[in-house]
Amino acid sequence: MLEQWRRVGQDRTAVELFAGGGGLAMAVHRAGFRPLLFNEFAKRACETLLANGATAVEEGQIPPIPEPGEPCPLREGDIRKVDFDYLKGRVDVLAGGPPCQPFSLGGVAKGDEDERNMFPEMFRAIREIEPKAVICENVRGLLRPSFRPYFDYILRELALPFEQRDESVTWQEHDAVLRRVLEEGATRLDRRYRVVMTAVNAADYGVPQIRNRIIVVAFREDLGVDIDRFKELVRPRYSEHALFRSMIDGSYWERHPTVPKEVRDRVMARIPAELPVPDETLPWRTLRDAIAGIDGQKPLPPIPPQYLDRKERNLGGFSDHIGWPNARIYPGHTPNELDRPAKTVKAGVHGVPGGESVVLLDDGSHRYMSVRETARVMTFPDDWRLEGPRGEKMRQLGNAVPVLLGEVFAKAVARVLDEAEEK
């Protein structure tokens, strides 16, 4: 949708690298940042960005700086061929999630040695753009003991991106240099960044999905941003125990009055006998909530068993709400339950391993989730167009940042930047 990128009256600007299907880009834009450039390598993801209002820029051409109300340029292809110098001093936020396969449990997990590691390109973009802030999302695999030393090095490199690593130097040798520079503290403030790493579960931020990730945010030190204020703004506001309490007091079931009694009884029987002391957190959102519609969305209609045939029927006027046949459940491949947040959406047609895109229905049957249901689990708006065959759409969603999760962090960045400038 063109209007996604054409909201006017925004004073802050952003650049999105590794933009994928647009989750983090949408989040940053909703937080009030006007996009100046997208970069993405995957063909189908680029088609999605173009379908939603971005405009293509040919390789070798310097993208124009869009004015408020103009579409964002998309530079397709290898980030290593993109020159960012023309954006120097123009960007408030540089955002992106470097490809996570080198560090994912589902990938080959080669880490730093994997040629798909794009963190060095993120740091090059920082050097060339000199943004006020950086937002970077990635997988929890970076916190595993085998990768933690390298991840700590990444954080130090983000703190000192202008201490560039020579190709002949190992990361361990470069890390020793960074440690020494940080201890000495002699670097200019506008050449250093204050780094905040937050381990998150998306469900704790209103996303109807269990999705454990890390979000790293960095602020240029010369800006004097209040880091404690930022941490408070990104504190989780939703909880599992609040969901349980809403089921006990009946408010959850009031939203879903057609749930059969036997289903309610089964769900209620699994609630722990003892819960934490009540607090101000809101209930986790569930897959049933997502299908019924959250934040003003209309309910998605059910998919009748006879429609599990891959045919587009425009059910209820929703795109990509198509039935898919042959869903199976078995040990190790268990389905989503409607009254829990969905399992982590993964970058594959079937969400394998784990049956993450299979849903258990109230009547005991099961089926694959539609692309539209999956998009709702990722908190994408219903009018966001996804391009490509089903597998490619699911891949884009599985690789994306949930929009609501990204929006919390992007709004917090905007707030503390505003407050720092008002001092």
Structure confidence at residue 98 (pLDDT):
85
Structure confidence at residue 112 (pLDDT):
55
Q: How far apart are CA 201 and CA 336, in angstroms?
A: 17
Structure confidence at residue 7 (pLDDT):
45
Query: Mean pLDDT across the chain, nearest whole number?
Result: 91
Residue 6 pLDDT greater than 50, yes or no: no
Reported as a single tens digit per residue, the pLDDT across 293-350 is: 999 999 999 999 999 999 998 899 999 999 999 999 888 888 999 999 999 998 865 4
297, two tokens = 């969305």
Structure confidence at residue 10 (pLDDT):
47
Q: How far apart are CA 364 and CA 260, in angstroms?
A: 11
- H helices within 189-272, ranges in order? 227-233, 240-248, 251-255, 261-269
Q: How far apart are CA 75 and CA 15, in angstroms?
A: 11
Phi, psi of 80 (to 5 degrees): -65, -15
Reported as a single tens digit per residue, the pLDDT across 146-164 is: 889 889 999 999 999 999 9
Q: How far apart are CA 36 and CA 67, in angstroms?
A: 9
Q: How far apart are CA 154 and CA 175, in angstroms?
A: 9
- 235-246 average pLDDT score: 98
Q: What is the pTM of this model?
A: 0.93
Parse the chain into domains and list their residue ranges: 2-236+400-422, 239-388
Q: What is the CATH number of domain 2-236+400-422?
A: 3.40.50.150
Catalytic residue of the set 46, 72, 100, 136: 100
**How would residue 351 be classed by pLDDT, with cut points 50, 70 and 90?**
very low
Residue 135 pLDDT greater than 60, yes or no: yes
Q: How far apart are CA 194 and CA 415, in angstroms?
A: 16
CA distances from 120 to 123, 125, 349 (A): 5, 9, 30
Residues 129 and 15: beta-carbon distance below 8 Å: yes
Structure confidence at residue 206 (pLDDT):
98
Report the percentage of the chain scoring pLDDT > 90.
79
Q: Reply yes or no on whether 72 is catalytic.
A: no
Q: How far apart are CA 79 and CA 93, in angstroms?
A: 18
